[in-house]
Amino acid sequence: MQTLAPQPAPSAISTTSIGIYGSAGRMGRAIIEAIEAAGASLAGGVDAREDPNPIARTADVLVDFSTPSAIEAHLAAARAAGTAIVIGTTGLSPQHQSMIDDVAKDIAVLQTGNTSLGVTLLGILVREAAARLGADWDVEIVEMHHKHKVDAPSGTALLLGDAAAKGRGSSLAELRVDSRAGLVGARTEGTIGFASLRGGSVIGDHSVIFAGEGERIELNHRGDDRSIFARGAVRAAIWLAGQPAGRYRMGDVLGL
């Protein structure tokens, strides 16, 4: 396992001006507070049915916590203005991922299902555990979120599943099994299962379970407050604003 050398949180007041796609939403509001706390400035916010282009031209960097159907227009606006963008929106399709790869040829793009420090580290631990435990250790991922969440499995669950699949030298597309119901048959060895729970005001809980014969390892993350995502998103934005074109990960920002 590599030695972890986390980068300290930036202490100097940032002068970066940040534009938000999805500014009136739960995350948008938390990000406005985090921008203020970081001493950065808010270039403005855009929500549904508003033109995404003007803010892309005035902001130093954009953050997107909106909805998958808006991603194409937001990427196009960022690319046309030459402005870096952090994408936190989840529920993205493989087509969205291809669009992001394409736009990242021209501008800096960081896409992640979770901007928190804790989940970024958890992804590394999951990959390591999956690599060290044999394929006879079954991997199951359980997530719970608030009742308003519209996508499942969560972006974080998929990020953690991807880490486990990579640890096994494979891809999540090959191993993924979504929630089971009915006479589904016995578990296929090597697959990665997902279960999604929804209710109340849960901010975001994730468990990665490695189940072996007679023993079990569980790696958990519990989010108590949206500020963990908002702080990470602002930190990522400030960092990304200075980067050349390319596709980046939260681990690049945090030095993990």
Ligand X SMILES: NC(=O)C1=CN([C@@H]2O[C@H](COP(=O)(O)OP(=O)(O)OC[C@H]3O[C@@H](n4cnc5c(N)ncnc54)[C@H](OP(=O)(O)O)[C@@H]3O)[C@@H](O)[C@H]2O)C=CC1
Q: Which residues are catalytic?
A: 145, 149
Minimum separation from the CB atom of position 124 to ligand X (A): 16
174: exposed, middle or buried (Cβ count in 10 Å: 0-12, 13-18, 19+): exposed
Distance CA 205, CA 219 (A): 11
Q: Which long-range contacts (CB under 8 A, 24 or more apart) does 49-53 make?
A: 52/21, 52/77, 53/77, 53/80, 53/81
| Residues 219, 250: Cα–Cα separation, whole Å | 19
Determine the interface stretch with ligand LZUJQKHR among 32-40, 104-112, 149-157, 230-238 (rule: CB under 6 A).
Answer: 149-157
Q: Which 3 state secondary structure label does DSSP give 196?
A: strand
Residue 65 binding target from ligand X, ligand LZUJQKHR, none, CB below 5 to 8 Å by type: ligand X
Please, which residue, 48 or 134, has the CB nearer to ligand LZUJQKHR? 48
Interacting residues with ligand X (CB under 6 A): 21-22, 24-28, 46-48, 65-67, 70, 88-91, 112-115, 155, 229
Identify the residue among 74, 96, 127, 149 touching ligand LZUJQKHR (CB under 6 A): 149
Q: Which stretch binds ligand LZUJQKHR (CB under 6 A): 54-62, 92-100, 147-155, 241-249?
A: 147-155
Which of ligand X, ligand LZUJQKHR, none interacts with 145 (beta carbon under 5 to 8 A by kind)? Answer: ligand LZUJQKHR
Which of 197, 199, 201 lies closest to 157, judged by CA? 197
Least distance from ligand X to the Cβ atom of residue 66, Å: 4
Strand partners, 19: 44, 62
Burial 187-218 (b: 16+ CB within 10 A, else e): eeebebbbbbeeeeebbbbbbbbbbeeeeeee
At residue 109's C-alpha, the angle toward residues 252 and 45, to 5°, is 115
Tell me how far apart the alpha carbons of residues 161 and 140 are, in angstroms, rounded to a whole number. 9
**DSSP code of residue 188:** P
Which range of residues in 10-18, 98-106, 152-160, 243-251 is near ligand LZUJQKHR by CB under 6 A? Answer: 152-160
Shortest Cβ distance from residue 39 to ligand X (Å)?
21
Residue placing its CB nearer to ligand LZUJQKHR in the complex, 105 or 222:
222
The binder of 46, among ligand X, ligand LZUJQKHR, none, by C-beta within 5 to 8 A per type, is ligand X
Query: Judged by CB, which is closer to ligand LZUJQKHR: 14, or 111?
Result: 111
- Considering the rule CB under 6 A, would residue 145 count as an interface residue with ligand LZUJQKHR? yes
Of all helices (H) and strands (E), which one includes residue 222?
Answer: strand 215-223
Q: Binding residues for ligand LZUJQKHR, per CB under 6 A?
A: 90, 113-114, 145, 149, 154-156, 204
